[in-house]
Amino acid sequence: MDLINGSSKVLDFYIWDDSEVSVKQVSIIKNLKAENFKLPKNLWSFLDSIGPKNPTSIRLFHKVLEEADENVIFSMIIRQFRLLLLIDSGIRTVDEAKRLASWQSSKLRRQAQSFTKGSLPKSYKKLYEIDIRHKTGLLDIPLSKSIDFFLLGL
């Protein structure tokens, strides 16, 4: 800490943590500016609403889009489908599935049941294809529009 506090240079540090940084932790380094980057609360409602022929999910997606970056939302959609696939297949050996509370597993199980047999893997593959095209610059429409079409196609 002495090296950091004694430096005359402006230093940028980014520390990621699951929890908020306490006032005591912030006070260790002088002139530290701590920022919290929280996900919008309506993101969780949106993710829970995703399902076949559910126009509410598109409306909620656009509300979340007002508060969060489309890339963050897209990564959370991918996460949601990964969890849905794990729950639907009964796989509990993956850490992400192990960490779920029972109420989360129940919610995901109900959501997974709204999909027809075989549609979850197909949807996950579509997300993968969108992701690859987006990351390689081959996506011919904005990511937010691709998400719209994905949701409409469920």
Using one digit for the tens of pLDDT, what is the confidence trace for 85-108? 999 998 878 888 889 999 999 999
pLDDT attached to residue 36: 76
Instruction: Count up the domains in the chain and report the number.
Output: 1
Q: Is residue 15 part of a domain?
A: no
Contact (Cβ atoms closer than 8 angstroms) between residue 40 and residue 130: no
Q: Is residue 9 part of a domain?
A: no
Q: Any idea what the Cα angle at residue 77 is, between residues 76 and 78, rounded to 5°?
A: 90
Structure tokens at 148: 């719209």
Q: What is the mean pLDDT of the chain?
A: 90
How many percent of the chain have pLDDT more than 90? 68
Enclosing domain of residue 67: 42-152
Q: Is residue 11 part of a domain?
A: no
Structure tokens at 120: 């979850």
- The CATH number of the domain holding residue 64 is 1.20.272.10
Q: Is residue 95 part of a domain?
A: yes
pLDDT digits (tens, 9 = 90+) for 1-46: 666 666 667 767 676 777 777 778 777 777 777 777 788 999 999 9
Q: Is residue 128 part of a domain?
A: yes
Contact (Cβ atoms closer than 8 angstroms) between residue 61 and residue 79: no
Position 132, amino acid: I
Cα-Cα-Cα-Cα dihedral of 59, 131, 119, 43, to 10°?
Answer: -30
Q: Is residue 77 part of a domain?
A: yes
